[in-house]
A and B are shown apart, each in its own frame.
Chain A
Amino acid sequence: MLSKKEKELIIEIWEKLTPVAADIGSDALLRMFASYPGTKTYFSHLDISARSRHLLFHGKKIVQAITEGAKDISQLTVTLAPLQTLHAYQLRIDPTNFKLFSHCMLVALACHMGDDFTAVAHAAMDKFLSAFAAVLAEKYR
């Protein structure tokens, strides 16, 4: 699991990104749609073109949920309980897609943060996002 230092780093990164949450989240989504077109099927009811209102809104929501989860990683199952139910029973998104999204989020962070997205930050974020995705998929079956 994540060390104390890694947890602090994760919180620091997400808190710093709060003002641009919609930009980062929508960029990550747009990257996922471009690289893995199959993921667009879950968003057929929305306008998912670059900078669209839907995309920015949804991107922001995702980043806010991730930021909230980052605040206390040991409590992820509690923090994410409503989202677990939503994804497993209502949205029914194949959990494989969480991995694709995580990768695109890492690339979005790399593009936004540049050299500040160090190998250590990358490793910590990868670990955190996999933990987040695993918790999100817990209720599926």
Chain B
Amino acid sequence: MVKFTEQERDVVRAVWEKVDVDEIGPEALIRVLITYPWTERYFGKFGDLFSISAVSTNAKLAEHGKVVLRSLGRAVEDMDNIKKTYAELSRLHCEKIHVDPDNFRLLADCITITIACKLKSTFNSNVQATWQKFLTAVVEAMTSQYN
């Protein structure tokens, strides 16, 4: 299990405090679908995702983005038990939704870039490194139940 220093915890919490879940969630997911269009395979029930404007304005997708980011908040709250926190979600993605786990990394990258657009210069190289260490732990946890 990944260990975080007190300083790293502070950095992650400071980033999270500045994150508006309802804004970053939809925006990050929109970026995933526009940048990696093959990810649309997982959103067949979401209706029209056939163009950039359709992706950008799809209400179901925006709502799901909020759900995803709210779930990320659970990891911020309990950074010592990330693997346990996502065990069930990991199983769900493996057994029921059949999501290729590499997509968790793509989503993590898009979350980072979306946050960078908002925080601008405060999201410096050290903050980015710590934030990504945290997201990597979440991605690993989401992959942990695949077998």
A: residues with CB less than 8 A from B are 27, 30-31, 33-35, 50, 103-104, 106-107, 110-115, 117, 119-120, 122-123, 126-127
Contacts and interface: CB of A to CB of B under 8 A. Distances in A.
B30 to A, nearest CB: 5
Given A119-B56, A126-B35, A27 B125 contact: yes
Interface of B: 27, 30-31, 34-35, 52, 56, 109-110, 112-114, 116-121, 123-126, 128-129, 132
Contacts of A107: 112-113, 116, 123, 128
B62 to A, nearest CB: 13
Nearest to B55: A119
Contact of B123 (A33, A106, A111): A111
Nearest to B37: A123
Prevailing SS type, chain B contact patch: helix
A119 B35 contact: yes
Prevailing SS type, chain A contact patch: helix
A111 B121 contact: yes
B125 A30 contact: yes
A122 B128 contact: no
B89 to A, nearest CB: 24
Given A111-B117, A120-B34, 18 more contacts: A31-B125, A34-B128, A34-B129, A35-B128, A35-B132, A50-B125, A103-B109, A107-B128, A110-B113, A110-B117, A111-B124, A112-B120, A114-B118, A114-B120, A115-B117, A119-B56, A122-B31, A122-B35
B24 to A, nearest CB: 12
A53 B18 CA distance: 33
Given A103-B109, A107-B116, A111-B116, A123 B121 contact: no
